[in-house]
Amino acid sequence: MSYPPSANVEILRDKPARPYKIFAIVRATGMPSAADWELLAVLQKEAKSIGADAILLFPREENERAGGYNPCAGGAIGGGGEKISVLKALAIKYE
């Protein structure tokens, strides 16, 4: 399903109270020194381009359970090469 680009995208850390549907995962990557606001701006731009009403940041505990990094804090990943900061979120559309 595709949507026209959005004019504004909310950034959420908790699930919204109103009904919504998840339709994509958006991801921003940058240098380890990248500030959270820089990565959030990339996420917001990506979400606008696909027509999201909001993005719901991945919760910290989900990534810890999976043994991964913490995308909400710009966790660093890498496999022998240069490390990068990653921030992921769910793109949502309000019903």
Query: How many domains does the structure of the chain reveal?
Result: 1
- The answer to whether position 2 is within a domain reads no
Predicted confidence at residue 73, as pLDDT, reads 45
Q: Which residue range is the domain that position 32 belongs to?
A: 10-94
Report the chain's mean pLDDT, rounded to a whole number.
80
Look at residue 3 and tell me if it is in a domain: no
CATH number at residue 15: 3.30.110.70
DSSP one-letter code for 77: E
Give the model confidence (pLDDT) of 41-77 as tens digits. Answer: 999 999 999 999 999 998 654 433 333 344 444 455 5
The answer as to whether 34 is a domain residue is yes
- For residue 22, being part of any structural domain is answered with yes
Tell me the two tokens of residue 86.
């990653």
Strand duo 84-94 + 76-77: pairing: antiparallel
pLDDT in tens, 5-36: 999 999 999 999 999 999 999 988 888 788 88
The secondary structure element, H or E, covering residue 9 is none
4 inside domain: no
Residue 5 falls within a domain, yes or no?
Answer: no
